């Protein structure tokens, strides 16, 4: 191993840990599994440090080879991680039973703390943000594991075809073929929506602020005006989901009728998108964490809201279980 790396393995690999987690997340769709696989990658690298040859590959390329193959092994025989909209038709019944399905390995959101806010190049920051959008990660789950790996390594991380071939122990021709198939499948599953706006966009901030005010006021009429005509509401681990302003609004009206008003929303961010932690008052008036809502905002309004109610997701975002007075 190169002396500069061998002298302090932790210091040499530390700059790559965050991006390895994000890479594993794109592959696996789970923050917790991504953390585990990134740690496993560094452990494997440490054990193989004497075999590393800096003349054959950079340290970053070598680590990505280990991480990608660890993910491929993890994905063998595994079902994809979906969102509810990927499992069946939308419901039109606002009173349908809300029954969680914990047997499904649901897609998880990624806290924005994993993304590089220190990017000097705005284009580089936008590229990383766009590459983890929730809808895109969900669509990538539809790809066979090796096609997913090729797509991420080539189109997101911009490794050359030759580098990817070396990482996956295959030929350049096979990499190019897999990339072509992956791009075609992804375009069919999730056509690129150029109207999606960045969280820092002023119009996005204003839309989210209006959504928060309407939600906290239990004002369904105003809330639905902020939605696109075909807005989608889904709620893992509940397989139930709704499409369109009318059904979205009817379901939210049911939520307020059942849980009452007095909700509070706390802004956060997930997958490069605006997100809100929703707190609902209990019988004693204590505001308790209820859900994490991840919004997709376009030029036409809020196009999607994926509402997560999972203790593991809450832990990943370090959300307080109770909202203290004054927050």
SS (H, E, C) the chain: CCHHHHCCHHHHHHHHHHHHHHHHHHHHCCHHHHHHHHHHHHHHHHHCHHHCCCCCCCHHHHHHHHHHHHHHHHHCCCCCCCCHHHCCCCCCCCCCCCCCCCCCCCCCCCEHHHCCCCCCCHHHHHHHHHCCCHHHHHHHCCCCHHHHHHHHHHHHCCCCHHHHHHHCCCCHHHHHHHHHHHHHHHHHHCCCCCCECCCCCHHHHHHHHHHHHHHHCCCHHHHHHCEEEEEEEEECCEEEEEECHHHHHHHHHHHHHHHCCCCEEEEEEECCEEEEEEEEECCCCCEEEEEEEEEEEECCEEEEEEEECCHHHHHHCCCCCECCCCC
- Structure confidence at residue 118 (pLDDT): 62
- Structure confidence at residue 8 (pLDDT): 85
- Structure confidence at residue 3 (pLDDT): 43
H-assigned helices in 113-201: 122-130, 134-140, 145-151, 161-167, 172-189
- Structure confidence at residue 195 (pLDDT): 66
Q: In 10 A of CB 270, how many CB atoms?
A: 30
Domains of the chain, with CATH numbers?
Answer: 3-189 (no CATH), 202-316 (3.10.450.50)
As a whole number of Å, the CA-based R_g of the chain is 21
- Structure confidence at residue 117 (pLDDT): 65
- In order along its 327 residues, the chain shows pLDDT tens digits of 444 465 688 899 999 999 999 999 999 999 999 999 999 999 999 999 888 888 888 999 999 999 999 999 999 988 899 999 999 999 999 999 999 999 999 999 999 999 976 655 777 777 888 899 999 999 999 999 999 999 999 999 999 999 999 999 999 999 999 999 999 999 888 655 556 777 778 899 999 999 999 999 999 999 999 999 999 999 999 999 999 999 999 999 999 999 999 999 999 999 999 999 999 999 999 999 999 999 999 999 999 999 999 999 999 999 999 998 665
The pTM of the full predicted model, rounded to 2 decimals, is 0.92
- Structure confidence at residue 79 (pLDDT): 87
- Structure confidence at residue 116 (pLDDT): 76
């Amino acid at each position: 191993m190169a002396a500069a790396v061998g002298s302090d393995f932790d210091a040499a690999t530390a700059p790559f840990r965050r991006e390895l987690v994000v890479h594993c997340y794109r592959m696996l769709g789970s923050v917790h599994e991504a953390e585990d696989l990134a740690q496993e990658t560094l452990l494997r690298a440490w054990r193989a440090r004497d075999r590393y040859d800096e003349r054959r590959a950079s340290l970053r390329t070598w680590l990505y080879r280990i991480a990608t193959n660890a993910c491929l092994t993890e994905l063998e025989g595994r079902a994809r991680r979906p969102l509810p909209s990927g499992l069946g038709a939308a419901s039109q019944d606002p009173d349908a039973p809300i029954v969680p399905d914990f047997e499904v390995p649901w897609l998880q959101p990624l806290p924005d703390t994993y993304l590089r806010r220190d990017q000097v190049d705005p284009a580089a920051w936008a590229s990383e943000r766009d590459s983890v959008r929730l809808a895109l990660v969900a669509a990538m789950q539809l790809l066979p594991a090796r096609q997913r790996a090729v797509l991420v390594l080539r189109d997101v991380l911009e490794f050359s075809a030759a580098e990817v071939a070396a990482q996956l122990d295959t030929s350049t021709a096979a990499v190019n073929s897999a990339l072509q198939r992956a791009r075609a499948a992804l375009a069919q599953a999730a056509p690129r929506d150029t109207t999606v706006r960045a969280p820092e966009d002023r119009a996005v901030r204003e839309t989210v602020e209006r959504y928060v005010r309407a939600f906290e006021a239990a004002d369904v009429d105003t809330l639905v005006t902020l939605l696109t005509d075909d807005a989608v509401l889904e709620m893992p681990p509940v397989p139930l989901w709704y499409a369109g302003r009318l059904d979205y609004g009817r379901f939210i009206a049911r939520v307020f009728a059942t849980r009452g008003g007095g909700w509070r929303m706390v802004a956060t961010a997930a997958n490069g998108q605006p997100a809100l932690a929703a707190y609902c008052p209990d019988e004693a008036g204590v505001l308790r964490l209820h859900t994490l809502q991840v919004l997709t905002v376009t030029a036409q309004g809020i196009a999607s809201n994926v509402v997560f109610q999972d203790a593991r997701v809450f832990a990943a975002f370090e959300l307080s279980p109770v909202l203290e007075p004054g927050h």
